[in-house]
């Protein structure tokens, strides 16, 4: 038996007036998932424990089977693992986004944050800007590291974990109220604007109509996590397929194998088909029992507030991942169980994560069960199945051998 989780980041949403009261998942054309829905278990699962922040970090830890209340030490340390940064126990990691702030105001704190991803800046461009920040901002005890796209890292030696605001939670707001209380972090953010807004690369971006990547934004502070081995915990050899450092970091921490797929970039135009192929190859040719296929696109489109693009992302997942994975495994003669779910909702109306339970679909290629006509928020709700504890859902996936 092979096991797959197709993790559609941020896919769950709310009914939208523009869609005639449907959610993006309901409005999307998903013929492959529709085929599975009537013969699969469909239900709701609470991936973010009550009282915890609804991040991709806490939610994905749950889905991978690690109780975030026990294992979560912050988002950024998980990304540090992925980048290969060996943190000391006293070190603190901060996520360093490169964001877009408005430029017409005089004072830094009066600027408005308009884009937490600087138009999904390429890693190549971002590396140039992080280099400028290294040269201009680094001081004793602070070091920058390049991550992926707009997601980078600052490590503070013997630091303190402080409360910071996630930039995607305050889009379109004046930043003054959300700046770090820590004077060094605050000063570095302010200076980062002076360095980046005048950088030739940003002048070029602006002339191309792209959002300038004109400020660093620190958040997600935390210390080194200690995840137990996935293989020891569940007796399964697992592979992670994700473009996102957070997920790769969880995999490193859990001793899972990270598979890099060319063209997988965490955006809407990621290499969906390449991810499906890599998962099937890992399962059928490389001896893995379990593949975690993570797709960031629906979450990003939720943050952008675009239901049209979110629908496109969902349709691409259905067409290029759900359908082909099932088909290729059938052709290979493998029995499999596949769990399809988001980590958390990222409703386009609020443009940020919420902690509400999410719909899941669990398909078993060997045995059909009484499912629902479709897989979406509403069908999962009326199915009457609700898993209140997210981190045990994976044991449910693995319970049939
Ligand atoms: Zn997420």
Q: pLDDT digits over 290-333, tens only?
A: 999 999 999 999 999 999 999 999 999 999 999 999 999 999 99
CA of 158 to the centre of ligand 1 (A): 29
Looking at residue 400, its pLDDT comes to: 87
Residue stretches of the chain with pLDDT short of 50: none
CB-based contact 301:352 (threshold 8 Å): no
Looking at residue 82, its pLDDT comes to: 86
CA of 39 to the centre of ligand 1 (A): 27
Looking at residue 265, its pLDDT comes to: 84
Query: What are 264's two structure tokens?
Result: 């997988």
Q: What is the pTM of this model?
A: 0.84
Looking at residue 364, its pLDDT comes to: 98
C-alpha separations of 98 from 36, 75, 80, 125, 238 in Å = 40, 16, 16, 11, 32
Neighbours of ion ligand 1 (CB under 5 A): 9-10, 56, 299, 343
Q: What is the DSSP letter of 267?
A: S
CA of 342 to the centre of ligand 1 (A): 8
């Amino acid at each position: 038996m092979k096991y797959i989780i197709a993790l559609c980041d941020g896919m769950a949403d709310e009914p939208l007036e523009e869609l005639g009261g449907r959610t993006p998942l309901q409005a999307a054309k998903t013929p492959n998932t529709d085929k599975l829905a009537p013969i699969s278990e469909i239900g709701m699962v609470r991936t973010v424990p009550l009282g915890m922040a609804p991040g991709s970090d806490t939610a994905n830890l749950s889905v991978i089977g690690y109780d975030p209340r026990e294992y979560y030490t912050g988002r950024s340390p998980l990304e540090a693992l992925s980048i290969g940064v060996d943190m000391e126990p006293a070190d603190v990691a901060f996520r360093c986004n490169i964001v877009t702030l408005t430029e017409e105001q005089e004072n830094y704190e009066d600027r408005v944050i308009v884009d937490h991803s600087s138009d999904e800046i390429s890693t190549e461009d971002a590396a140039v800007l992080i280099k400028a920040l290294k040269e201009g901002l680094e001081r004793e005890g602070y070091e920058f590291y390049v991550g992926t796209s707009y997601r980078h890292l600052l490590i503070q030696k013997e630091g303190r974990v402080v409360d910071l605001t996630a930039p995607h939670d305050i889009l379109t707001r004046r930043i003054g109220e959300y700046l770090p209380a820590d004077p060094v972090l605050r000063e570095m953010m302010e200076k980062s604007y002076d360095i980046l807004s005048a950088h030739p690369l940003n002048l070029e971006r602006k002339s191309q109509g792209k959002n300038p990547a004109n400020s660093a934004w620190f958040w997600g502070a935390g210390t080194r996590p200690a995840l137990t081995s996935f293989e020891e915990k569940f007796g399964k050899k697992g592979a992670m397929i994700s473009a996102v450092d957070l997920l790769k970091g969880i995999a490193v921490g859990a001793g899972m194998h990270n598979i890099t797929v060319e063209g997988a970039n965490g955006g809407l135009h990621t290499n969906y088909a390449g991810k499906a192929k890599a998962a099937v190859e890992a399962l059928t040719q490389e001896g893995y029992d379990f593949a975690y296929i993570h797709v960031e696109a629906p979450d990003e489109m939720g943050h952008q507030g675009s239901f049209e693009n979110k629908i496109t992302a969902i349709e691409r997942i259905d067409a290029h991942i759900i359908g082909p994975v099932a088909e290729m495994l059938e052709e290979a003669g493998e029995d499999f169980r596949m769990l399809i779910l988001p980590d958390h909702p990222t409703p386009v109306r609020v443009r940020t994560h919420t902690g509400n339970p999410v719909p899941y679909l669990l398909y078993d290629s060997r045995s059909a069960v009484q499912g629902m006509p479709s897989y979406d928020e509403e069908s999962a709700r009326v199915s009457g199945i609700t898993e209140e504890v997210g981190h045990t859902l994976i044991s449910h996936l693995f319970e049939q051998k």
